[in-house]
Amino acid sequence: MAENIKISIKNLYKIFGPTPDVALEHVRKGMNKADLLEQQRHVLGLRDINVDMREGEITVIMGLSGSGKSTLIRHLNRLIEPTAGEIRIDGEDVLSFNEDQLRKLRRENMSMVFQKFALLPHKTVLENAGMAKNIRGYTISDFEADARKWLARVGLEGNEHQYPHQLSGGMQQRVGIARALVSDAPIMLMDEAFSALDPLIRSDMQDLLLELQDELKKTVVFITHDLDEALKLADHLVILKDGEIVQQGDPQEILLNPGDPYIVDFISDINRARVLRVRSVMSAPDSGESTYAGDISEKENLESVLLKSGGDMSLNFRVMRREEHVGTLHMKDLALALVPTQASQDRSKSAA
């Protein structure tokens, strides 16, 4: 295992039903989800999942309802037991853990941020933020300083003695994030964590997560059904359909080179200028002397570059990583990147 792989999932299967081992043989021979349900009365949750999640990165698992994404994340802390396969965290076989080891994994190595916030209504914001340490035997005086620090970090300074019902949905989810940070767990599991929030608040929470991640470098596993959210957050994107991985990799690469008609349909209506980053379109630094219209960051989206260019496709920009010149963005290359894939164009023509 590579030293920077934090979580490794190999050949993972999950089948729901009375005799999953029998049904597993049919699945391994190629039976699909619909036929398994009709012929064997079993539900295929996951089929042959193989994912490596790197330390310090955000891995986003996305798919539509019923794709298996929530089932997958619940295997990491063994809230769901697999039918077959392997799950390793820091090289250790999680499926071999006894009750004490599993309890320690859940309490100390993993934190979870839920869609419905999961705050205790009779506890204050401060007490909720320190809940992970409280159940380990710490008192309020033990974790109060940490709780106050992280509550302030997520924008809730001064709300420590309020109760959940006194907070908005966005504020309650900030408490959930603070709780995960107070736990000091290196792995954060986030299951549709922002799905219940209004769009503007949701965007703010995404920005907050990216800001915190830039500082803390947690290993984050984020579940979503929203492609815009996935493309914004993911270092590594895994797209599921009917319990199977359709495509995985750098989200920018998936957007530029979709490997399946399902992905083409998925991305056909995306605002490519808003999602694609300069780093995905730039070329190597020009040799010799070149005229640049200005400097841009490799992390900027193409929409912001279009604004800077004023629509002039003849311009070139120097791409910077901090203070290092790492590439050149030719506006003609930017324009080509905004053109949908041929498969997407064909779909649009047929619809017309």
- Tens of pLDDT along 206-227? 998 999 999 999 999 999 998 8
What are the boundaries of each domain within the chain? 53-267, 272-337
Mean pLDDT is lowest, of 133-137, 268-272, 286-290, for 286-290
Q: Please name the residue that has the structure tokens 């710490």.
A: 138
- Architecture of the structural domain at 272-337: Alpha-Beta Complex (3.90)
State pTM to two decimals: 0.86
Look at residue 248 in the predicted model and tell me its pLDDT.
Answer: 96
Three-state DSSP state, 200: helix
Contacts of 237 (CB under 8 A, 6+ apart): 59, 60, 62, 230, 231, 248, 249, 250, 251, 254
Backbone angles phi, psi at 179, to 5 degrees: -60, -40
Considering only residues 55 and 299, tell me which one the structure prediction assigns the higher pLDDT. 55
- Architecture of the structural domain at 53-267: 3-Layer(aba) Sandwich (3.40)
Q: Which of 242, 233, 230 is nearest to 270 (CA)?
A: 230
Look at residue 288 in the predicted model and tell me its pLDDT.
Answer: 67
Look at residue 235 in the predicted model and tell me its pLDDT.
Answer: 94
Per-residue model confidence as pLDDT tens digits over 322-338: 889 999 999 999 998 88
Question: Cα–Cα distances in Å, from 225 out to 64, 166, 258?
Answer: 5, 29, 18
Model confidence at 341, pLDDT cuts 50, 70, 90, reads: low
Mean pLDDT of all residues belonging to the chain: 89
